[in-house]
Amino acid sequence: MAATAVSCSMKQENAAEQSAAGNNSGDMALQTKSSAEEPVFDIVTDLGTIRIRLYKETPLHRDNFVKLVSEGYYDGVLFHRVIDGFMIQTGDPLTKSPEKADMYGTGGPGYTIPAEFNPALRHKKGALAAARRGDAANPKKESSGSQFYIVQDEENCSQLDGSYTVFGEVIDGLDVVDRIAACATDRRDRPVDDIHIKYIKPAASQDGNF
């Protein structure tokens, strides 16, 4: 058990440091669109659909996500970092271009989002949280403008509470999260077989929010 915990901890630190996104800091230019207070979306992947609900307590992250979805920003991106027993990460637009494989994990829309930490919003299983650059390069812990991850194991991700902004949760499709987490990966924690987000759309009851 001790060896497993140490190994997992090292991987987690590495994952946190390399959750690079939105590398271009600077002023955030968000053109938000109207949305429900806690909008619900379906993330349609190659392995099934994950339904998420965004939190009203994190309006900057919520409205940015709504904006990107309305633009089709996530259509075709890969889950580029997958660690079974930890989390699954996606949202990098560079993953749409195979020739940029060495840069996966560094892409974004060109802005970051101020942290919106809330002690009531934890890294529970299925939590949706924003990836970011490491503390040394990002002392304000600002979030990536587009990359996010979904918690697969609450115990191993609890150490991230208060350091990464949690802005939503999975309300259906945890089995899909587990399926993605269980896929074979290479030494960079990248799935051997590509797993795409086909598209993200408002849940049926919320069509027309955009």
- What integer is the mean pLDDT of 138-159? 98
Confidence class for position 16, pLDDT limits 50, 70, 90: very low
User: Do residues 152 and 86 lie in contact, with contact meaning Cβ atoms separated by under 8 Å?
Assistant: yes
Q: Is the pLDDT of residue 210 over 80?
A: no
Determine if the pTM surpasses 0.85. no
194 Cβ neighbours under 8 A, 6+ residues apart: 46, 78
User: Do residues 115 and 142 lie in contact, with contact meaning Cβ atoms separated by under 8 Å?
Assistant: yes
As a residue count, the chain comes to 210
- Bridge partners of residue 191, in order along the sequence: 185
Query: What's the pLDDT score for residue 36?
Result: 80
Query: What's the pLDDT score for residue 208?
Result: 46
Confidence class for position 23, pLDDT limits 50, 70, 90: very low
User: Do residues 88 and 149 lie in contact, with contact meaning Cβ atoms separated by under 8 Å?
Assistant: yes
Q: What is the mean pLDDT of the chain?
A: 86
Give the CATH fold of the 2-206 domain.
Answer: Cyclophilin (2.40.100)
Tokens describing residue 76? 């075709």
Query: What's the pLDDT score for residue 32?
Result: 39
162-179 pLDDT tens trace: 999 999 999 999 999 999
- What integer is the mean pLDDT of 99-116? 97
Query: What's the pLDDT score for residue 89?
Result: 98
Where do the domains of the chain lie?
2-206
- What integer is the mean pLDDT of 35-53? 94
What is the full DSSP assignment across the chain? -HHHHHHHHHHHHHHHHT-------S----------SS-EEEEEETTEEEEEEE-TT-HHHHHHHHHHHHTTTTTT-BEEEEETTTEEEE--GGGG-GGGGGGTTS--SS-EE-----TTS---TTEEEE----TTT-TT-PEESS-EEEES-HHHHGGGTTTS-EEEEEEE-HHHHHHHHTS-B-TTS-BSS--BEEEEEE-GGGTT--
Q: Is the pLDDT of residue 209 over 90?
A: no
- What integer is the mean pLDDT of 50-63? 98
Tokens describing residue 210? 């955009």
Query: What's the pLDDT score for residue 206?
Result: 54
